[in-house]
Amino acid sequence: MEAALTNSGLPSILVATKCEHPEDEWEVDAEAMAKHKYFQACIATYKVSTETPEVARACLQAILRAAVAHRRGTVTSLSLREPHKENGETVARRRAQSNLEAQESYGARPLSGEQSRHSRASSDLSLLKGFNNPPVTDGYRNQSRSGEQTQCQQPDSVPSDRITGATPLVRRIRLDKPGDSFLDVDESDAESHRYSDDIPILQRNEDSGVDKSAKIVGVSFDDLVDRLLGPRVSKADANFSAIFLCLYRKFASPSELFSAILDRLDRVRDDKTAHYLSKTATQLRIIEVVAKWVSLYPGDFARPATRKNLEEFIKHLSTEPIFSIAAQQIRRNLYLNVVEDDDTGWANADENGDWASQSASDDANKLAAGVSALQFDADVDGKPSEYSDTDRGSSVGSQFQSYDEYEREAARLEPSDQLPMNKFRYHIFMDVPDDDIADELTRIDWVMFSSIRIRDFVRHVSLSASQKEKCKSLRNVNRMINHFNHVAQWVANMILLRDKAKHRAQVLEKFMNIALKLRQLNNYNGLAAVLAGVNGTAIHRLSQTKNLVPADVQKRFARLVILMGTQKSHFAYRLAWENSPLPRIPFIPLHRGDLVSAEEGSRTFVGPKGDRINWKKFEVLAEVLLPIMKSQGTPYPNLSKHDTVRELILGCRMPTDEEEIYQRSVQVESGTGGSTDQGRKKAFPWFAK
């Protein structure tokens, strides 16, 4: 069998296995077998054992090199012609022994090829870590095509003690000339590190050498614009477009970005070397970015000069039939949605312009406000068409088409104190199914969550207190935060409503079941609000009440407490949030804290001159904002309005002061463990003032 392989013309390697056993127990003499005439044509021989894994690794690498070289037709020096004897040793054997001294240097550091900056991704040999690719040079290709015979530049003999024992008979092979070998053992350490496996593939470029000067920090604005307008070849490119349009105002004004986009459109138009179809595809891609920009952030174009430039852009698009549909979409957004809002004057804003232009802008704003009631089939206000209402009758209460509609609905969900909290409210609460209460809590949270524009999250953590007062849209963020606190207080007051422990236990058990329903709905904000009410000081101390709650209910609730716990920086919640399917509502206070850390922890501009953008900071912000964007894009499909539950949640008159709630807790269940502090609060309430 082995002789047939060597006679077939294929490159062969002779491997002796299980060499960890004593030599006197060997059934085959490996060295004698290697010297047999049938195996003298083998390009290498190895002795492998379990004690020398590096030998097995070297053997496997040699096999792969020989196979790939044979397939590429570059193994002319390995042709299995009759070997010529020279001092009792074949030329093939001498070639196989030529790199004994190179074994240690190869094993000490990863080697890699020279021919490509993406060698790991493009080579058949990339399956092995530390296995380099063949250098592709003109000389290499010419010699491979000509099939010239190579010469071995090695000593005439090799000491026999170098090829005995549990080491391979041949450590490394050289398949071609030293300059054309697959394993260039003469390369420098700098070249080996230059494209080693420690460097990611996408970072292997012309500047990756160790002799490079200090790495340039930050990114230029032009580079970011080029990526924004470049082809989208991955999901990361689409995410980059979304986060760039959201956050670019931190380092550039709308007019600067729009001018940069127009400049690139002009370059594409004036390019005489590109094919017409290629130019058209590039232009459509750039126009699509502009259309998305106007749709999502129309306030960026509210200033007179920027609005005029956009109108001129639309006018030029209208002259080309292929761009006419895009021009109509942008024009519709311009006249219906482009009005001054909180985006207009935020961060890097355009100049106001002269009085005449400002007056014309005001007239345009009035015109847009007058026709804003018109309805269109497609998106006109930054929400995609999937936001359209469903056919389910009462379930449309949680789905609207625009931020403005969500904001108007959220304004109706402000708490009031019209209804007294008494025994009658207790019976209503106990009669309502748990699912209905969880659905209404989720519907209210969803409306408030969807009324918040994505930039409002950034403004809420970056603006000063005086600037926040001028920003009208931030009331949507404040409304959701206040609603979170209101729900927590409502939960505590409902539990403390009755004087008897058995009635309080029934309410507490019901809220524990509601918390489980909220988790099943992926409403983490509502879940955290209910947990805040149940685990608050006023409720947590009610040991008699908790003892009446079934153990299995408490066990399920304890799991929810662990899920929303603060251990390891809310690790359990973050893991659940990342893996939760849509629709879902985030735990707003935690994500707001993440934005604060990202905003205050890094500078926007870096570099010696402070003119380069610290995009790493915006990548951290993107990790928080992108999941929120995605969550806002998919509404809950089957949430129905429950007016009775809404009145029960928002319309009850109840104490909101923490001390007053605590005093009620002490009143209904005094401490039984001899707590003097609790007794003092009950007997002498003025001590707490």
Q: 52-102, pLDDT tens digit by residue?
A: 888 888 888 888 888 888 777 754 433 333 333 333 343 344 444 444 343
Whether the Cβ atoms of residue 477 and residue 431 lie closer than 8 Å to each other: no
Q: How far apart are CA 492 and CA 371, in angstroms?
A: 47
Q: How far is CA 674 from CA 21, 314, 496, 671, 682, in A?
A: 77, 78, 22, 7, 13
C-alpha 279: how far from its chain's center?
32
pLDDT tens across 299-351, in order?
A: 999 999 999 999 999 999 988 888 989 999 999 999 988 888 888 888 888 88
- The first and second tokens of residue 405, run together, are 């509609």
- Pick from 258, 271, 249, 201: which is nearest to 229 by CA? 258
249 pLDDT more than 50: yes
First to last CA, the chain: 97
Q: Scanning the structure block, which residue is given the tokens 């094919």?
A: 275
Q: How far apart are CA 185 and CA 296, in angstroms?
A: 57
Could you tell me what percent of the chain has a pLDDT over 70?
Answer: 68
For the chain, which domains are there? 2-203 (no CATH), 252-371 (no CATH), 385-656 (1.10.840.10)
Point out which residues pair with 46 in neighbouring strands: 15
Q: Binning pLDDT at 50, 70 and 90, where does residue 289 land?
A: very high
Q: Region 198-220: what's the mean pLDDT?
A: 55
C-alpha–C-alpha distance, residues 227 and 241, integer Å: 8
Residue 378 has pLDDT above 60, yes or no: no
Give the pLDDT of residue 386: 35
Residues with Cβ < 8 Å from 381, sequence gap 6 or more?
Answer: 295, 336, 337, 401, 402, 403, 404
pTM of the model: 0.63
Cα gap 590→531, rounded to integer Å? 14
99-127 b/e (C-beta count within 10 Å ≥ 16 → b): bbebbeebeeebbbbbebbebbeebebbe
Mean pLDDT for the chain overall: 74
348 and 253 Cβ atoms separated by less than 8 Å: yes
What integer pLDDT is reported at residue 342 of this predicted model? 86
**Residue 7 pLDDT level (bands cut at 50, 70, 90):** low
Contact 65, 123 (CB under 8 A): no
Give DSSP secondary structure letters for 112-160: --SS-TTHHHH-GGGGSTTPPPPP--HHHHHHHHHTPPP---S-S---G
Radius of gyration of the CA atoms of the chain, in A: 37
251: its two tokens: 């380092």
- Helix H or strand E segment including 68: helix 53-72
CA dihedral sign, ordered 353, 358, 360, 364:
positive
> What is the DSSP secondary structure assignment for residue 585, as one 8-state letter?
B
* Res 8 pLDDT > 60: yes
User: Is 253 a residue whose pLDDT tops 90?
Assistant: yes
Average pLDDT over residues 244-264: 93
- Name the band, by pLDDT with cuts 50, 70 and 90, for residue 451: very high
Report the alpha-carbon distance of residue 453 to residue 474 in Å, rounded: 9
Return the structure tokens found at 688.
């707490």
Amino acid 536: pLDDT: 92
pLDDT tens per residue, range 38-50: 777 777 888 888 8
CA distance 303 to 311: 12
